[in-house]
Amino acid sequence: MRTKEQFHDNLAQMRPNVYIGGEKVGRDDPRLLPGIRVYDMVLDLAGDPEWKGVATVKSPLVDKEINRFCHLPQTPQDLIQKQKLIRLGARRAGGCVQRCMGLDGITALAVCTKEIDMAKGTDYHERFLKFMRYYQENELAGCCAQTDSKGDRMKRPFQQNDPNQYVHIVERRNDGIMVSGYKMSITTAPYAEEMIVIPTRALGKEDADYAVAFAIPPDTEGISLVTRPVWHRDFKDGTTSPFCKLGVSDSLVIFDNVFIPNDRVFMCGEWDFGRRIALLFANSHRHSYCGCKPAISDILCGATILAAEANNIMKASHIKEKLTEFAGASALAYAAGIAATLFGKKTDSGVFFPNPVYSNVGRRLSGELVYHEYNILTEVAGGIAVTMPFHEDFKKGDNVDHLNKFILRNPQVPADESLKIWKFVEELGTSAMSAWYKVAGVHGGGSPIMETISLGLDYDFEDKKNVARYLAGIDETLDDSRMRQEEPVAALSPDAQKEVMVGQPN
Ligand SMILES: Cc1cc2nc3c(=O)[nH]c(=O)nc-3n(C[C@H](O)[C@H](O)[C@H](O)COP(=O)(O)OP(=O)(O)OC[C@H]3O[C@@H](n4cnc5c(N)ncnc54)[C@H](O)[C@@H]3O)c2cc1C
């Protein structure tokens, strides 16, 4: 399996094009390191024999074992393992595992390039598979740039005053295309080795130049990444915790006349597939969220238990009740992901794709709960999460003795452990990273309204009306054909069934 050393060697060779705070920085900038460590953790997982078959998979495309984040899901079991891997990785990352955007990007391209070819006689799928072989052979790490800066939200791409508000084709050449424009909020771009670029919305005929999809290394000439890293405030005494070592980054990606060779172009003007590819990415990503959101609930639930123990209030009746709310949020999102798999389907590309309705409800309902879950932590922890003296004050200066007495609440929890608990609660609940997770819970993978739109498209409302018409006595019979069609994928192998059972670390 690919190691983190190989990954770091590759990063070191990339063209410097990352900007933080107005300065051009290298990919070894310490502010990027907390995010890079999450990528490292994923590579370590793939190299760990204990997680073979979960973090790794045998790819039929290159006929070898590869990192699962580079693999196109082929079977229901693949989707179950993907969801489990994301939960597993996110628990270790203290939140975002950062590799699912790339995975959801290649998944969307695999399905859509095949469909475009079938409709238009193009050869995008073959080009894409050639790219995928290279991607999988080298087990590269990808990010996905879907979200355009979008300018005036009420205007379509072709109506914008500045065409760069959406990435678009500026020139078509024999050997490729030139593209320009802005993509924003792109997670992990500085330490990704490939960037999957796809449209963000449904497009009209006049938007044909905006119907463009491709894969390109993020250090390609003409690309600049203006990056906003987020990380935890680490301990100042040289000690640290796994949580405090990790972070993330998001970038505004500027494409300024970037050349994309033909073999990397996977959509070029097919505006009528804009909505399809945008939804394919979003729906796959919402299925991924059914793995990561349970992990975030796991972390918040665990932190709330620690805070309750430190406060010695575990026996209070309202604490148990509040803890069960985490169980509800986490188990429902996870169950929605499993249901999305059971009701998923094989696409013409061979990719097994999750059911969009279950993926969307899992994402929407659990995403919106995120502020509520942080509120539970805040309620149980008390005000110390934002008023505790700095960690350094416990370690040096005139007040060390007082502080180590002050921090004692539960006689069973010693001062040093209590300090670690409150530092963790502070970082988890009130830091810049914490705000990142709250906003990501609402908007990452699409704002709630986008999930509402997806549900409006895919949910069978007519069927529900028919139930009511029958029960009200308007229709004499009830058409239950929908229920007959809704057979889960019974073809789950015994091994896959076992995975469903062990995939739920409740
Ligand atoms: C932490 C984080 C990480 C992210 N990572 C990635 C990533 O890796 N890759 C990526 O591609 N994207 C990423 N995103 C972007 C994410 O997908 C978007 O934030 C999300 O789709 C919402 O888009 P927006 O931020 O432009 O908000 P907007 O779309 O501007 O939404 C703001 C509000 O305006 C409303 N609105 C917008 N347009 C209209 C309209 N035409 N009519 C009526 N109302 C409208 C929305 O409903 C919403 O209420 C990330 C976002 C976050 C927060």
**Is there an atom of ligand 1 within 6 Å of 96 CB?**
no
**Pair (477, 441) in one structural domain:** no
**Pair (442, 356) in one structural domain:** yes
Instruction: Check residue 446 and give left, alpha or beta (phi > 0: left; psi -120 to 50: alpha).
Output: left
**Is there an atom of ligand 1 within 6 Å of 101 CB?**
yes
CATH code where residue 323 lies: 1.20.140.10
Q: Of 259-268, 307-316, 423-432, 487-496, which gets the smallest average pLDDT?
A: 487-496
* Rounded Cα distance, 433 and 246, in Å: 10
* Rounded Cα distance, 87 and 75, in Å: 19
Domain contains 242: no
**Is there an atom of ligand 1 within 6 Å of 147 CB?**
yes
Say if residue 341's pLDDT is above 60: yes
Question: How confident is the model at residue 80, as a pLDDT?
Answer: 94
Look at the alpha carbons of 453, 457, 460, 461 in this order and tell me if their dihedral is positive or negative. Answer: positive
Pinpoint the alpha helices (H) of 273-413: 274-310, 317-342, 356-368, 370-381, 384-387, 400-406
Indicate the number of domains in the chain.
2
Work out which ligand 1 atom sits closest to the CA atom of 143.
Answer: 8
Domain contains 312: yes
**Pair (381, 313) in one structural domain:** yes
* Rounded Cα distance, 457 and 280, in Å: 13
**Is there an atom of ligand 1 within 6 Å of 185 CB?**
yes
The angle subtended at Cα 149 by Cα 148 and Cα 154, nearest 5°, is 100
**Pair (441, 321) in one structural domain:** yes
Question: How confident is the model at residue 489, as a pLDDT?
Answer: 66
* Rounded Cα distance, 289 and 451, in Å: 12
* Segment 191-213 mean pLDDT: 98
Ligand 1 centroid from CA 440, angstroms: 10
Single-letter amino acid code for the residue at 297:
S
**Pair (432, 469) in one structural domain:** no
498: confidence class by pLDDT, cuts 50, 70, 90: low
Boundary residue ending a domain (457, 476, 493): 457
* Rounded Cα distance, 424 and 81, in Å: 30
Ligand 1 centroid from CA 279, angstroms: 14
Per the listing, tokens 């097994």 go with 352
Say if residue 501's pLDDT is above 60: no
Concatenating the DSSP letter of every residue in 192-242 gives -SEEEE---S---GGGGGG-EEEEE-TTSTTEEEEEEEEE----SSS---T
Ligand 1 centroid from CA 148, angstroms: 9
According to DSSP, residue 148 is labeled B
Domain contains 164: no
The H or E element spanning position 108 is: helix 100-120
SS3 content of the chain, % helix, strand, coil (to 5): 55, 15, 30
**Is there an atom of ligand 1 within 6 Å of 41 CB?**
no
Ligand 1 centroid from CA 165, angstroms: 14
Q: Ligand 1, atom 9: nearest CA belongs to which residue?
A: 186
Write the burial class of residue 393 (CB in 10 Å: 0-12 exposed, 13-18 middle, 19+ buried).
Answer: middle
485: confidence class by pLDDT, cuts 50, 70, 90: low
Question: How confident is the model at residue 28, as a pLDDT?
Answer: 96
* Rounded Cα distance, 64 and 297, in Å: 35
**Pair (479, 419) in one structural domain:** no
Q: Which positions ≥6 away from 456 have C-beta within 8 Å?
A: none
Say if residue 486's pLDDT is above 90: no
Instruction: Please state the pTM of the whole predicted model.
Output: 0.93
Cβ contact 454:448 at 8 Å: no
Ligand 1 centroid from CA 447, angstroms: 6
Question: How confident is the model at residue 504, as a pLDDT?
Answer: 44
Single-letter amino acid code for the residue at 213:
A
Ligand 1 centroid from CA 147, angstroms: 7
Concatenating the DSSP letter of every residue in 275-305 gives HHHHHHHHHHHHHHHHHHHHHHHHHHHHHHH
Q: Which of 188, 275, 443, 454 to mutate to test the pocket of ligand 1 (most atoms within 8 A of CB)?
A: 443
Question: How confident is the model at residue 502, as a pLDDT?
Answer: 45
Domain contains 154: no
Domain contains 121: no
**Is there an atom of ligand 1 within 6 Å of 153 CB?**
yes
Domain contains 317: yes
Work out which ligand 1 atom sits closest to the CA atom of 248.
Answer: 1
* Segment 291-299 mean pLDDT: 94
Look at the alpha carbons of 481, 485, 487, 488 in this order and tell me if their dihedral is positive or negative. Answer: negative
**Pair (305, 389) in one structural domain:** yes
Question: How confident is the model at residue 487, as a pLDDT?
Answer: 65
**Is there an atom of ligand 1 within 6 Å of 189 CB?**
no
Look at the alpha carbons of 413, 419, 422, 427 in this order and tell me if their dihedral is positive or negative. Answer: negative
**Is there an atom of ligand 1 within 6 Å of 228 CB?**
no
CA atoms within 13 A on the CB side of 43: 17
* Segment 423-449 mean pLDDT: 90
* Rounded Cα distance, 283 and 277, in Å: 10
**Is there an atom of ligand 1 within 6 Å of 449 CB?**
yes
| Mean pLDDT computed over every residue of the chain | 93
Q: Which of 281, 447, 452 to mutate to test the pocket of ligand 1 (most atoms within 8 A of CB)?
A: 447
* Rounded Cα distance, 30 and 46, in Å: 25
**Pair (375, 488) in one structural domain:** no
Q: How many of the other CB atoms lie within 10 Å of CB of 68?
A: 26
**Pair (291, 403) in one structural domain:** yes
The angle subtended at Cα 141 by Cα 331 and Cα 258, nearest 5°, is 125
**Pair (392, 495) in one structural domain:** no
Length of the chain: 506
Domain contains 9: no
Ligand 1 centroid from CA 391, angstroms: 36
**Is there an atom of ligand 1 within 6 Å of 443 CB?**
yes
Q: Show the tokens assigned to 225.
A: 């990444």
Question: How confident is the model at residue 364, as a pLDDT?
Answer: 84
Q: Which positions ≥6 away from 1 have C-beta within 8 Å?
A: 43, 46, 47, 56, 65, 66, 67, 139
Exposure string for 448-462, b = 16+ CB within 10 A, e = fewer: eebbebbeeeeeeee
Domain contains 248: no
Question: How confident is the model at residue 368, as a pLDDT?
Answer: 80
Single-letter amino acid code for the residue at 332:
L
**Pair (395, 326) in one structural domain:** yes
Q: Show the tokens assigned to 179.
A: 């593209």
Question: How confident is the model at residue 378, as a pLDDT?
Answer: 96
Ligand 1 centroid from CA 445, angstroms: 8
Residue ranges making up the domain that contains 366: 278-457
**Pair (283, 414) in one structural domain:** yes
Question: 142-145 and 194-197 as β-strands: parallel, antiparallel, unpaired?
Answer: parallel
